[in-house]
Amino acid sequence: MPRYNKEKSSRRIAVAVRQMESGDDWLITYSDLVTLILTFFILIAAISKVDPLKFERVAQSLSGAYGKEDDRQRVDLRTVYKMIWNLINNSNYASKVNVELLPIGVAVTFTGNTLFTLGKATIQKDIHPILDGLAWVMSELPYNVAVEGHTDDIPISSDEFPSNWELSSARASRVVRYLISKGVSSQKLFASGYADTKSRVPNLDEFGRPIPENRAENRRVEIIFQAR
């Protein structure tokens, strides 16, 4: 059995440390990403219990943890996707909120009545914790965010919303206003309404009959962390 040589072992360690200090800058980036993800897991734990007081305390304790712009820029969209995916899948809305990594960025889609009841533009209170989590991500990372409102093909005509254009625009604007109220900079946010002009799936079948589940999928709000 080879004898342990303390002096040689110490020299090897010293050489390894010097090599790490001299060239492995990627370790700093990796450390930042791991720390950010672990911090976000704490946020998920608070949100999953849907305890607004606990969420507020956690959010305040995390505020400013990544205050330097150069630190924020190290987090790429793949990491943002994983963070948001974990947020959604640790909630009660995994089947109603979709997260996608696309060429245009990370898209978070709320379908059906998840955010709004039919024909309304008032955000439902039980979805607030999810929006609060997204607001925290937006505040901590340097990405611009587009909020898009979409409707199905059922016409609306009311004093408040003369058409689906007004309804879809109002829904996008309400989400933007809510995010701003949670500390997201208004300079990062953009609101747009598209009515039923960008349906994901057909609202009617080949015989002209409505498809309720498709209409529910087309009634959506998309929050997109935009690629630079």
Kindly report, residue by residue over 34-47, the tens digit of the pLDDT. 556 655 654 555 45
> Can you give the pLDDT at residue 91?
85
Domains of the chain: 8-226 (3.30.1330.60)
Strands 97-102 and 105-111: antiparallel
- Residue 146: enclosing H or E segment and its boundaries? strand 145-150
> Can you give the pLDDT at residue 30?
57
**Phi, psi at 197, each rounded to 5°:** -80, -10
Query: SS3 for 81-124, per residue?
Result: HHHHHHHHHCCCCCCCEEEEEECCEEEEEEECCCCCCCCCCCCC
Task: Show pLDDT as tens, one digit a residue, over the chain (228 residues).
Answer: 445 454 554 555 455 445 544 555 555 555 556 556 655 654 555 455 444 444 444 444 444 444 444 444 557 889 899 989 998 988 888 888 999 999 999 999 999 999 999 999 999 999 999 999 999 999 989 999 999 999 999 999 999 999 999 999 999 999 999 999 999 999 999 999 999 999 999 999 999 999 999 999 999 999 999 987
Contact status, residue 31 vs residue 20, Cβ threshold 8 Å = no
Contact status, residue 65 vs residue 35, Cβ threshold 8 Å = no
Cα Rg of the chain, angstroms: 23
> Can you give the pLDDT at residue 68?
47
> Can you give the pLDDT at residue 66?
45
**β-bridge mates for residue 98, sequence order:** 109
DSSP state of 2: P
Contact status, residue 160 vs residue 119, Cβ threshold 8 Å = no
DSSP state of 126: G
State the Cα–Cα distance between residues 132 and 13, nearest whole angstrom.
46
